[in-house]
A = this chain, B = another copy of it.
Amino acid sequence: MIALTPIGRVRSPLADPARAPKQGFEGAPEAWLELEPACADALSGLQAGQEILVLTWLHRADRETLRVHPRDDPRAPLAGVFATRSADRPNPIGIHRVRILEIAGGPRLRVADLEAIDGTPVLDLKPVLDRTRER
C-alpha cells in the first residue's frame, strides 16, 4: 500500500463539484493553495507569473467507477475512465495547469485558474517543462 501525505489544501469559492467547471480554462476562479509550513523550503525557485502543474486528491470521487459517460453527458457513449478526465477513477489524482499569481507567507500560493473545490487536498507542485510536447 502507498500512503500519500497532503502538502496542503485548496481554498476556493467553489464548493460544489457538480457546479465546478470541468477544466480550469472553462471559467474556473482564482484560488489559494494553503501549504504546510514544513513545505516552505520546497517552494524556493518558484515565482509569480510562472505556470505550474498542481496535483490534487479528488476526495469526492468514486474509486469503484470504471466506465462513465464523458463530461456527464448521458448521450455520450460509455467510455473507460482511463480514456476520460473523469474525477471518478481508481486513484483520483487531479492534474491542474495553473499560473502562480502571488506567493505569500504561510506559505500560500494564489493561482489561476483552478477548478478544484474548496478543501481539496494538494499532493504536489511541478514546473511546466519547456518542450512543446510536454504536460
Contacts and interface: CB of A to CB of B under 8 A. Distances in A.
Count of identical protomers in the assembly: 2
Contacts of A91: 4-5, 7, 55, 123-124
A95 interface: yes
Contacts of A78: 44
Interface in A98-132: 121, 123-127, 129, 131
Q: Interface size bucket, A side?
A: 35 or more
Interface in A18-48: 23, 25, 39, 41-46
Interface of A: 1-7, 23, 25, 39, 41-46, 52-53, 55, 57, 66-67, 78-85, 89-91, 93, 95, 97, 121, 123-127, 129, 131, 133-135
